[in-house]
Structure 1
Amino acid sequence: MVAPFGDRLRRARKRAGLSQRVLAVESGVSLSLIRKLEQGERQDTRLETARRLAAALHIPTTALIAAEAGDAAPASGARAAHWADVQTALDPDVPDPRDLDEPPTLAGVRADLDLAITHYTSGNLAGIATFLPGLIRDANTLAGLTDRGRPLRMEVMQITGRLMTQTRNYASAEVAFSLAQAEVPDELHAAALANNTTWLLLRRGRLREAGRLAARWAESLEPRLSRATPEDLSAWGWLLLRTAATASRDARPDDAAHALRLATAAAVTMPPPRPGKTLSRAGFIRRFTRLTVGMQRAEQAMVEDRPDEVLRVARQVGAKHLPPTVGNRNRHLLDVAHAQVLTRQHRDAMETMLLVERDAPEWLPHQRYAKEVLARIVAKRRTLTPDMRRLADTMRLPL
């Protein structure tokens, strides 16, 4: 039986020779919360709080969350029903309910996959939900008709897994990635799958697994920079960023900084894009740039409670002027809003949140982080503006 979080915290604090009061000062976590955790009045806490406590105790975050944080509950009610057909289509025991006159074709499935990727990158989640179940079934049928359909089905499962991860349907994401694993044709696609799986593990709070997977693949993929292709550099760079993300959350800032230095080398080496030339779509790998690394640097600074550094890096990135579909731009802007709240720039923080809502209205409600940032903004106001009330309702902010 795994010891409760409070018991692990108390033992770690005593081993470090700190009183509850000193730990509160060192970590920035309130004394009352530490007492409630150790006394069992609170059974768990946010990953960010665990990281603060672990950093103050000079231990990895995973030493405190030994059981690994449980899955966040997927969206409920109407939002869960939104994805019910996708989840059903992933079940191999459920027959295709459609009565189709003609079998799917390679060209048709590929065109639908391109449309799915376009919807995903633009944040049109409702759009992709309408036809993704049919795409999954067509890909399964095609893979049974021709060997050329198998790699295509793998790509469909990759984008499905990413979508399920994004919408917090984690069990379905795991099924999709498992199905993709069975069809991986080469190392580049396998690396992309590792990148996607690491993201899933990270969102589920399984830091140790995520860190090991990302680090193992980053080490395996490390290229000779003088000969590396854009695809090689992008795959390596994204896995380095996953390594940095898990390390920073696990209170290992030196490991995170090392991964970011290597990621910077990958971005600097990346040749400029040539007109008409795009990356191979292997596993939905996106182009890796210095802006991508900059956003990760800001995220690491936010995890380490350095809001001034977040805003300094954000000025260099200039994400507000980037297209909404660029990399992790919208996630980065949540870090900016959080940093603005912590530096008492509440009006600016609200403007940043409204910008993200404008550009990614379907994406934003699925972000638990966004809800936490908005809660901080609302807590500082005696009277809410109409935009604050509307956004709080949209994101189902608890009363």
Structure 2
Amino acid sequence: MTAELGQRLKSVRKRRALTQKELAELSGLSVQRIRQLEQLEHQGVRLGTLRKLAVALRVRTSVLQPGGSTDTEHASPATEELWDGVRRALVAPLATVRDEDELASSDEVEASYMALMPLVDEHRYRDIAAVLPALLADAETLEGHEGRAVRARLLNLTAWLLVQNRQFDIAAMTIEQSIDVAPERGIAVGAVNAGVWSYLRQGDLDSARELAVKWADDIEPRFSTATPSQLALWGRLWLYVANVAVRDNAPGANADALALARAAAVRVGREVLYDGANPNRPFGPITVAQITAECAVITEQPGQTLAIADSLPTSIVAPTSAPRLRHRLDVANAHTQLRQWPEAIGTLKEIHSVAPEWLAQQRYARDILGTVVTERRTLTEDMRELADFVNLEF
């Protein structure tokens, strides 16, 4: 991937008749950075950097990432240890043979699954990781349509949690298990959404787009008769396509995907949960607006992001919902782009106060704080504490 990137970047630059200095000026990167990339004197390249180069060179970002993923950041040793029991339960769920009268019923597993939701809502990963292995073992024995549906929803939730905590390899296996065991496509597509998000979080744009478009085509609903859940599942996939397109420097594809998702959201008319009872998987007009704001900040239109944020109601979506938390990071980034440091730090402090375990897993938060630390002449105590909390390297 490294050698291919250097060769591809140099080739595209020459085709555009640009010098390294001219490309640096157009992309906002330094000449030294351009030279390092072309001469392979670098350890890794972030997706945001590739997008800046793609915009300057008038190509898609994916043209510059022939090896696929560029942004994979695996979990810290502490996070790996936290989820070790869950990984073991997924790999060898039947290590202990139990008598038939010890097996849990579908209703019992469903009740335990629902009991997890307050913990999921508050992103209490330590508490979830402590109880999830036994629940996965119970679900492994479920049979029949109802049992498979319960097990698939639990696997969907587990996959989402693993992606959230950057356990990408075991998450991929869990997603495959969920799709395989799901008795109907409406349940399987919840796992597909986790899969698309996993690819996107790792910077693998081609794989994310291919998976999202394939399933969006497969489950395309008839608007006149579709249920809110069916529309939400389909619309959420198109939001992921929009996420991919804006990062891939494909504004037309981004606009088309947002338009399709917006049409579904208008038809639904409100925020609904598209993956069981998981409070972090909503879809509706607010979710579409949040993704629109995300696209704006990625294209360095912070004013539009802040305008959308100001227009959204605050009482409908829970403050700990993952999409809302991600949206607040976009708001913090918009303030950072405008060099509004107190507002950016204030937004990060707000997130920290309601979802500290979630914030600790966000590379995006480290990127925002990294910019603040670099640009500010001096740091406040709040800035230093937040940088330490998210493990921002020096």
Q: Give the TM-score of the pair, scaled to structure 1.
A: 0.91
Equivalent in 375, 382, 388 of residue 383 of structure 2: 388
In the alignment, which residue of structure 1 is the partner of 2:140?
140
In the alignment, which residue of structure 2 is the partner of 1:37?
37
Which blocks of at least 5 consecutive residues in structure 1 are unaligned? none
Whether 2:350 is the aligned partner of 1:355: answer yes
Contact 2:175 2:192 in 1 (8 A): no
How many residue pairs were aligned?
393
The alignment yields a C-alpha RMSD, in angstroms, of 2.5
In the alignment, which residue of structure 2 is the partner of 1:189?
187
Q: Call closer, same or farther: CA 1:279–1:317 in 2, change over 3 Å.
A: closer
Q: Call closer, same or farther: CA 1:64–1:279 in 2, change over 3 Å.
A: closer
* Residues 145-165 of structure 1 deviation map (CA, whole Å, 9 limit, x = unaligned): x56422211111111100000
Contact 1:319 1:333 in 2 (8 A): no
Aligned equivalents of 2:327 and 2:145: distance in 1?
Answer: 40
In the alignment, which residue of structure 2 is the partner of 1:24?
24
Aligned equivalents of 1:369 and 1:2: distance in 2?
Answer: 23
* Residues 162-198 of structure 1 deviation map (CA, whole Å, 9 limit, x = unaligned): 0000000001101110111111212212322222211
Q: Call closer, same or farther: CA 1:290–1:272 in 2, change over 3 Å.
A: closer
* Residues 103-159 of structure 1 deviation map (CA, whole Å, 9 limit, x = unaligned): 21222211111123332232121221110111111111334xx56422211111111
What are the equivalent positions in structure 2 for 1:181-260 lying under 5 Å apart? 181-260=179-258
Say which is worse superposed, 100-109 or 185-194, in terms of deviation. 100-109
Whether 2:286 is the aligned partner of 1:288: answer no
Q: Call closer, same or farther: CA 1:96–1:205 in 2, change over 3 Å.
A: farther
TM-superposed CA distance for 1:323, in Å, is 2.4
Q: Call closer, same or farther: CA 1:353–1:14 in 2, change over 3 Å.
A: same
Q: Percent identity?
A: 38
AA at the equivalent of 2:159: G
TM-superposed CA distance for 1:101, in Å, is 7.4
Q: Write out the 4+ residue segments of structure 1 that deviate beyond 6 Å after TM superposition.
A: 97-101
Equivalent in 287, 307, 316 of residue 311 of structure 2: 316
Aligned equivalents of 1:43 and 1:5: distance in 2?
Answer: 12
In the alignment, which residue of structure 2 is the partner of 1:72?
72
Aligned equivalents of 1:96 and 1:232: distance in 2?
Answer: 38
Q: Call closer, same or farther: CA 1:394–1:99 in 2, change over 3 Å.
A: farther
Aligned equivalents of 2:185 and 2:293: distance in 1?
Answer: 30
Contact 2:302 2:338 in 1 (8 A): yes
Q: Call closer, same or farther: CA 1:186–1:94 in 2, change over 3 Å.
A: closer
Contact 2:149 2:187 in 1 (8 A): no
Q: Call closer, same or farther: CA 1:93–1:122 in 2, change over 3 Å.
A: closer
In the alignment, which residue of structure 2 is the partner of 1:372?
367
Aligned equivalents of 2:24 and 2:315: distance in 1?
Answer: 36
Which blocks of at least 5 consecutive residues in structure 2 are unaligned? none
Three-state SS of the structure 2 residue aligned to 1:4 is helix
Q: Call closer, same or farther: CA 1:237–1:341 in 2, change over 3 Å.
A: same
AA at the equivalent of 1:398: E
Aligned equivalents of 1:240 and 1:307: distance in 2?
Answer: 23
Three-state SS of the structure 2 residue aligned to 1:149 is helix
TM-superposed CA distance for 1:320, in Å, is 9.3
In the alignment, which residue of structure 2 is the partner of 1:48?
48
Aligned equivalents of 2:93 and 2:155: distance in 1?
Answer: 17
Equivalent in 149, 167, 180 of residue 169 of structure 1: 167
Contact 2:242 2:255 in 1 (8 A): yes
Equivalent in 154, 157, 165 of residue 156 of structure 1: 154
